[in-house]
Amino acid sequence: MKRIFISLSIAVMVLTGSCGEQQTADLVIVNGEVFTVDDNNPSAEAIAIKGEKIIYVGTTTEAKKMVKEGITNLIDAGGRPVFPGFNDAHVHFGPLDPDYIELRYTTDPSVFTEKVRAQIAKSKPGQLIRGGHWEHEMFTDRNWPTKGLLDNVSPNNPVILSRADGHSVLVNSYILKASGITGKTVSPFGGEIQKDPKTSEPTGIIKENAMDLIKTGEIVAELSEKEKEEKIWQGYLLALKEARELGVTSIQIPGWGDFEAYSKLQEQGHLTSRIDIGEPLTGDTARLKKYIEIAKKYPAEGNWIRFGYLKAFIDGTIGSGTALMYEPFTDNPNTSGLAMMPYEEFENMVVSADKLGFQIGVHSIGDKGNNWTLNAYEAAQKVNGIRDSRHRDEHAQTIAPSDFPRFAQLGVIASMQPTHCISDKKFVVKRIGEERSKGAYAWKSLADAGARIAFGTDYQVEPLNPMEGLYASVTRKDRLGEDGDGWYPEQKISMTDALKYYTIGAAYAQFMEDRKGMIKTGYLADIVIIDKNIFSIPENEIMKTKVDYTIVGGKVVYSSGKR
């Protein structure tokens, strides 16, 4: 009886406040199918919010007692699912460019020519033309594109079109000439200048570290500095609009974000997603000390703009044929991929940053690349001692069987992006063979081995929509659907687990599981209401699911208008 009495007392205090008066909520959601992600209270039907935080999770009857006309915003979910806001653990977020040439899902490379021609018609000579998200494995011939697609329509403009993974680009002859790249140019360490096997001339494909050689020549300044700033500002607003419409309430940027820009957005009331911004991993002690000063300004204790983790690259990608593998690629036995730096240099950087208390995340794709990342983290523990570092393996895309248990043993977070599986599966077996493919995008094997997992999208490499990631997690099938059980179906997971990795899993990865990632009393009120029950609908309906409400810090930042 005593235990029941204490429990009831706590409930009364939540509803009435310490002085015994009934609390009035600022926002109340009722009649919902609330999936809380809180194992101690997995489901509810109502939520009450005051300020930025949740003050009650439970029944509609009790939550309505906290509604006061003229003060409380009441949302009737009408039986719709209610979740914690989606937390994208790996997203290259920033201002969107309306002039960027979108080439995602292109199957005919002649589209490159026509879209570049159209953009140049609106541009001045010398002005840089950018675009990307193409995937040559989607072309009917599956061949790499060449500069010949661009040269005839762009004799006076530099053109750079990025592959979907961002690890290769197609450039035109204007760029090659401006950069001094010829058939005699030697590929740098960790990079490749693709050359025609017959002529030895550059094809226009530049990979990995070789992209550092690219120069664009003289670019005509079409806009004034003020006009450029306004364009960038509008680009930020467009990006944040997309995020809130998709229910993305938290964003973890793996380096290269603009702290000042997001601070300005927050000051002006435009920041509608919480932001973590990392910096590049470096061996430069002076630069690491500078990071410490930035982290003091944007501390971990904050809830909006925070200093994130230090990001490094150890290898490339499977699609570009630059992932670091133990054995040669099945379809190209001449290469086992590319390391972005020698292992000893990489390990020294990791150990030095770890000693100063930084969290580290490493882009790791190939089985050898992932092994190197785990080895470096293990070395840091041996040198500096074990702490709650929560170092991250960004992508964790192809794992050797012996490395699965090391994630849990070392406390390394597998930060994964499910849509990479369904985008890449069309060429993975061709690239690395059946046996190695069993360890690719293997979130179920990692989970079974006790690893902590955080989900994200890798936007803009992949679309920002979390529904695509949820679909990929539970089906491992093409976006257009397909028969059968999916690609290596033993790696499929439940919708419940997928949602956890997109919420509390991602919060854990940023040391915020104590206040974010669950619908729980005292937690930040970041919440989404969606229009379909993704636990029960047919799998082909998952990606069609829309967000009806996005709530961040107790404020409705997006409403579809559907009541």
Task: Retrieve residue 530's tokens.
Answer: 């969606």
- What is the rounded average pLDDT of the residues 311-326? 96
pLDDT (0 to 100) of residue 19 = 47
Q: 191: which strand partners?
A: 208
Q: E strands, 138-190, where?
A: 159-163, 168-171
Please say whether the beta carbons of 391 and 431 come within 8 A: no
Give the pLDDT band of residue 226 (cuts 50, 70, 90).
confident
Look up tokens 């009364």; give the residue: 12
Mean pLDDT of 407-414: 98
What is the chain's length? 563
Residue 20 pLDDT exceeds 60: no
Task: Quote the pLDDT of residue 21.
Answer: 66
User: Residue 216 — very low, low, confident or very high, per pLDDT cuts 50/70/90?
Assistant: confident
Least reliable range by pLDDT among 53-57, 104-108, 303-307, 348-352: 104-108
Topology of domain 229-516, CATH: TIM Barrel (3.20.20)
Q: Is 297 exposed, middle or buried (0-12, 13-18, 19+ CB in 10 A)?
A: exposed
pTM of the model: 0.87
What band does 2 get if pLDDT is binned at 50, 70 and 90? very low
The answer, yes or no, to whether residue 220 has pLDDT greater than 80, is no
For the segment(s) 1-85+518-563, the CATH number from 2.30.40.10, 3.40.50.300, 3.30.365.10, 3.40.50.20 is: 2.30.40.10
Amino acid 18: pLDDT: 47
What pLDDT does residue 12 have? 45
pLDDT digits (tens, 9 = 90+) for 501-545: 999 999 999 999 999 999 999 999 999 999 999 999 999 999 999
* pLDDT, tens digit (0-9, with 9 covering 90-100), for 379-403: 999 999 999 999 999 999 999 999 9
57-65: average pLDDT? 98
In whole angstroms, give the CA distance from residue 536 to residue 471. 13
pLDDT band at 142 (very low <50, low <70, confident <90, very high): confident
Contact partners, residue 279, CB within 8 Å, separation at least 6: 255, 256, 291, 294, 307, 308, 310, 311
- Topology adopted by domain 101-213: Diaminopimelate Epimerase; Chain A, domain 1 (3.10.310)
Secondary structure of 35-86 as H, E, C letters: ECCCCCCCEECEEEEECCEEEEEECHHHHHCCCCCCCCEEEECCCCEEEECE
Q: How far apart (Å, rounded) are the C-alpha atoms in residues 134 and 91?
A: 18
Q: Quick check: 14 pLDDT over 60?
A: no
pLDDT tops 50 at residue 13: no
Query: Could you tell me which of 468, 454, 464, 461 has the C-alpha nearest to residue 419?
Result: 468
Count the Cβ atoms, other than its own, within 10 Å of residue 496.
12
Q: Which of the four pLDDT bands, split at 50, 70 and 90, describes residue 6?
A: very low
pLDDT band at 561 (very low <50, low <70, confident <90, very high): confident
- Confidence bin at 7 (pLDDT 50/70/90): very low
- Of 29-38, 122-131, 452-461, 515-524, the range with the lowest mean pLDDT is 122-131
- Tell me the average pLDDT across 405-432: 97
pLDDT at 144 over 70: yes
Asked if 553 and 525 touch (Cβ cutoff 8 Å), the reply is: yes
The arithmetic mean of pLDDT across residues 413-417, rounded, is: 98
Q: Are 245 and 562 in contact (CB under 8 A)?
A: no
pLDDT at 256 over 80: yes
Q: What is the pLDDT of residues 443-480, one digit of tens each?
A: 999 999 999 999 999 998 999 999 999 999 999 999 98
Judge whether 422 and 478 are in contact, CB under 8 Å. yes
Does the pLDDT value for residue 100 go beyond 50? yes
Mean pLDDT, rounded, for 260-282:
97
What per-residue confidence (pLDDT) applies to 8? 36
Q: How far is it, in rounded angstroms, from Cα 526 to Cα 7? A: 26
Q: Would you state the pLDDT for residue 9? A: 37
Residues facing 159 on adjacent strands: 129
Q: Give CATH 3.20.20.140 domain extents, the chain.
A: 229-516
Within the chain, all domains assigned CATH 3.10.310.70 are found at 101-213
Mean pLDDT of the chain: 93
Give the mean pLDDT of 280-284: 95
% residues pLDDT > 70 (the chain): 95
For residue 550, the SS3 value is strand
Q: Between 6 and 363, whose confidence is greater?
A: 363
What is the predicted pLDDT for the residue at 22?
77
